[in-house]
Amino acid sequence: MPESTVPTLYEWAGGMSAFERLTEIFYQKVLADPLLQPLFQHMLPEHAHYVAQFLAEVFGGPPSYSAERGGHAHMVSEHLNRHLTQPQREQFVRLLQAAADDAGLPTDPEFRSAFAAYLEWGSRIAVLNSEPGAKPADPSTPMPHWGWGEVGGPYRG
């Protein structure tokens, strides 16, 4: 069977440098935003880099977030007991989409549709995991993998 020539979303976006640019711009916006700034005012200097690694891996890039930080279970743990609100979630998504524009990520409808779908899914998971009583994720929970709209959900192999 021939190897696929369809690029991953990670490749289409421009690789790791595109995700680094995206998160740098995004967190500048976050720190200037009155709704989100209180959530991130004490973030580590490496925070944008870690999120870039996470997003890159989700979109088909190298598994460096999983190798260095512990994958999806670690990301879930970062949201426990944060009490995120729906307005904060919506603003997070808006600012990340604006940062994608500012960072020069592809604007074609197929890429942006997949990107927006992940932001909606991921931000809603974050809110659920931030509620009182949310439990840590099982360490064996696979990293979500997002593609060009394939059927099967985010936990494909």
Give domain status of residue 59, yes or no.
yes
Instruction: Give residue-wise pLDDT tens across range 34-89.
Output: 999 999 999 899 999 999 999 999 999 999 988 888 877 778 778 778 899 999 99
| pLDDT value at residue 109 | 95
Quick check: 107 pLDDT over 90?
yes
CATH code at position 68: 1.10.490.10
Query: How much of the chain, in percent, has pLDDT values that exceed 90?
Result: 68
3-state SS class at 35: coil
Look up tokens 């995700």; give the residue: 19
Quick check: 133 pLDDT over 60?
yes
CA atoms of 9 and 20, how far apart (whole Å): 15
Could you list the residue range(s) of the whole structural domain that residue 53 is in? 10-130
* pTM, full prediction: 0.90
Tally of CB atoms within 10 A around 134: 15
Domains identified in the chain, total number: 1
Under DSSP, the state recorded for 2 is: P
Nearest alpha carbon to residue 118 among 79, 155, 86, 88: 155
